Amino acid sequence: MHTTRRALLGGTAAGLLLAAGGCARSGAGGSTEFHALLDRLVTDVLRDAPEYATMLSVPEEQAGGRYIDRLSDVSRESLRRQLAVAEQGLTDLRAISRDSLEGQDAVTYDVVVTAAENNIASGRFETGGGAGAPYTVTQLTGAYTQIPDFLASMHPVTNRDQADAYLTRLSGYARMLDQETARVGEDAAANVIPPDFAIDGAIGQLRNFAGIATAQNVLVTSFQGRLAGVADIADADKTSLTQRAETILRDEILPAYQRQIEALTGVRARAVHDAGIWRLPQGEEMYGVALRSSTTTSMTADEIHNMGVELVAQFNSEMDAILRAQGVTRGTVAERVAALGRRPDQIYPSTDAGRTELLAALNAQNAAIQARMPEVCGTLARAALEIKRVPEYTEAGAPGGYYQPAALDGSRPGAYYINLRDPATEWPKFTLPTLTYHEGVPGHHWQIAIQQEAGELPFIRSALLGFGAYAEGWGLYAEQLADEMGMYANDPFGRVGYLQSAAFRASRLVVDTGIHSKRWTREQAIQSMVEATGDQVSSITTEIERYCVWPGQACSYMVGRQAINRMRESARTTLGEAFDIRGFHDTVLTNGSTPLSVTESLVNQWVASVSGPASGG
């Protein structure tokens, strides 16, 4: 089933600290002291997040110096130092009177303080990457899951300096792996060991990558391919540079892979099959912090669980009605949805031709809804969108889909990745339009592009900070919006796909809280989600194993969607005929990613601005 992964920014260090700073670009009327503090802190943040600085293509001055040849320091010592910087940043923010700030500055204050509080609370749990990512290396987390793709697809190679920097970063990658290997041992000493299946998944992927011949490894082939297009490097130098990349891979990176495999194999003997973090030291407290950070609400695990149970029943009832109307009546809803996915007319073959056809269909769906966005939004996104395949070397453990933002300078479009390891069984045609609406338009690409392009937002909000409940809530709301726009009017099975997706996200509330609060087993959670969605056991298993190592995050989607719906209905009720869906969407989107409480206050301000003149005249 589809899902969304946001990059953990080359390790959890940067993720921890992106809450603590930003670069204000707002104009007159704001607090000079506030802006100076944000300017100072953003440089500290980006200095510790060179991969993210590359992703955004920020100037060296803003990033605190040269970063093209650096990767993150992910040692425990570095994480502790960064936590201290974040805590000092929060202290400095609290020393500024919020009452002295106006307009967007006051909003920015609320956004940054909330993010800092949540991230610092998570980071104080030292094992792994904090409460929301308690294990350092798993099938989903660790440098090996991100850095090869980062180096292959984001590091620019357009001149000799960038080529040399790439080689320096290759050596830096070996160092990152060893830093994480050391943390695996430190975590194990503190009795924090991932579940057995999470370790097995990591070892399998590490071995797969290490088993690729060096000349065919993406760290070499991608470099060689980009070098070919650089005019000012002689052919002989291109050959020697490529050979140097092979040497670093063979002599530095692959041995580091082997050391990580050995470390994981060593702790595997102590691993248990229990899936939830309740079994860890302070596990219950960690889950409470993870939920608060992921949802930006104070909802308890029980409240979230019960919301999920009710919504699963609602969406399954709606699926049942459509399936019956289409003459599909035999079996449970889950069994009928599963059978629908096996019909020949719903299958893209797991061949190169099938994958090409699938990607073409997604691009057509994206183009169709893009043309209709002026009907529901006054502010339109400008950045282009690419739809790409998840790299084959990470697809075994990667989720179904995820989005990568466009570069701020326009040098790289936004991209959503779809996992095409086995489209014949994992991507029935009726499920795909909803994925496009979630990851692309009007979902993540639309939301993040508008956020990046909103000239009045300070840099911290347009480019650095993100809140899962807002962003994933919007992605899920976008699926609903596409339905409301009539995109499934002539596609009843496509609408089943939309409802299945909604049931899937509702089921996440049930299983995430089940695993981490109610002590469900991995197998219990898999069975529950299969019954809720009718989806393939193979893809559900990948999902459940993800929630086991990323507690709370899966709850952000539906909690956020329901909050946006409540805000919309409240605004519609208050404004009546004066309600304009475009004004509502512009308010939610142009203010960027915010905690749900801040989003609600912004919507209330918009409602007041619309109703004020009307009531007076």
Work out the burial of residue 456: count CB atoms within 10 Å of its CB; fewer than 13 is exposed, 13-18 middle, 19 or more buried. Answer: middle
291 contacts: CB under 8 Å, gap ≥ 6 = 299, 300, 301, 304, 551, 552, 555
Q: pLDDT class for 173, splitting at 50, 70, 90?
A: very high
Grouping H, G, I as helix, E, B as strand and the rest as coil, residue 450 is: helix
Grouping H, G, I as helix, E, B as strand and the rest as coil, residue 59 is: coil
**In this structure, what are the phi and psi dihedrals at residue 387, rounded to the nearest 5 degrees?**
-115, 120
Q: pLDDT class for 550, splitting at 50, 70, 90?
A: very high
Residue with tokens 């061949």: 351
**In this structure, what are the phi and psi dihedrals at residue 295, rounded to the nearest 5 degrees?**
-100, -15
Kind of pairing, strands 401-404 and 385-389? unpaired
What average pLDDT does the segment 54-75 reach? 96
Q: How many residues does the chain have?
A: 617
Grouping H, G, I as helix, E, B as strand and the rest as coil, residue 508 is: helix
Q: Are 118 and 293 in contact (CB under 8 A)?
A: yes
583-374-108 Cα angle (round to 5): 40
In this structure, is the dihedral angle defined by the CA atoms of residues 433, 438, 439 and 442, taken in order, positive or negative? positive
Q: pLDDT, tens digit, for every residue of 349-390?
A: 999 999 999 999 999 999 999 999 999 999 999 999 999 999
Q: Are 8 and 146 in contact (CB under 8 A)?
A: yes
Q: Are 142 and 180 in contact (CB under 8 A)?
A: yes
**449/476 Cα distance (integer angstroms):** 17
Helices (H), 342-383: 352-370
Q: pLDDT class for 30, splitting at 50, 70, 90?
A: very low
Grouping H, G, I as helix, E, B as strand and the rest as coil, residue 63 is: coil
Residue 582 to residues 103, 447, 483, 516, 590: CA-CA distances in angstroms? 22, 14, 16, 39, 11
DSSP-based helix, strand, coil % in the chain, nearest 5: 65, 0, 30
**Token pair belonging to 199:** 């370790």
Grouping H, G, I as helix, E, B as strand and the rest as coil, residue 391 is: coil
Question: In this predicted structure, what is the pLDDT of residue 6?
Answer: 34
Q: Are 476 and 502 in contact (CB under 8 A)?
A: yes
Q: pLDDT class for 407, splitting at 50, 70, 90?
A: confident
| Helix (H), strand (E) counts: the chain | 26, 3
Q: Are 593 and 461 in contact (CB under 8 A)?
A: yes
Question: In this predicted structure, what is the pLDDT of residue 447?
Answer: 95
**72/46 Cα distance (integer angstroms):** 10
Q: pLDDT class for 18, splitting at 50, 70, 90?
A: very low
**210/217 Cα distance (integer angstroms):** 9
Question: In this predicted structure, what is the pLDDT of residue 402?
Answer: 86
**434/447 Cα distance (integer angstroms):** 16
Q: What type of residue sits at position 285?
A: E
Residue with tokens 């009726």: 430
Dmax (CA) of the chain: 77
Q: pLDDT class for 308, splitting at 50, 70, 90?
A: very high
243 contacts: CB under 8 Å, gap ≥ 6 = none
pTM for the predicted model, two decimal places: 0.86
271 — alpha (psi -120 to 50), left (phi > 0) or beta?
A: beta
Beta-bridged to residue 403, according to DSSP, are 416
Kind of pairing, strands 385-389 and 414-418? parallel
Q: What type of residue sits at position 298?
A: S
Half-sphere exposure for 199 (CA within 13 Å, toward CB): 24
Q: Are 165 and 223 in contact (CB under 8 A)?
A: no
**Token pair belonging to 228:** 């070919």
- Does the pLDDT at position 26 exceed 90? no
Q: pLDDT, tens digit, for every residue of 446-477?
A: 999 998 888 778 888 878 888 999 999 999 99
Q: Are 267 and 188 in contact (CB under 8 A)?
A: yes
Q: pLDDT, tens digit, for every residue of 579-617?
A: 999 999 999 999 999 999 999 999 999 999 998 754 444
Radius of gyration of the CA atoms of the chain, in A: 24
**114/250 Cα distance (integer angstroms):** 45
Beta-bridged to residue 401, according to DSSP, are 418
Give 386's DSSP letter.
E
Torsion of CA 326, 332, 337, 339, to 10 degrees: -90
Nearest residue to 505 (alpha-carbon basis) of 306, 311, 289, 277: 311
In this structure, is the dihedral angle defined by the CA atoms of residues 130, 295, 466 and 596, taken in order, positive or negative? negative
**416/413 Cα distance (integer angstroms):** 10
582 contacts: CB under 8 Å, gap ≥ 6 = 375, 376, 377, 378
**Token pair belonging to 204:** 């399998």
Residue with tokens 């000012």: 232
Question: In this predicted structure, what is the pLDDT of residue 424?
Answer: 94
Grouping H, G, I as helix, E, B as strand and the rest as coil, residue 425 is: helix
Report the percent of the chain where pLDDT is more than 90.
Answer: 84
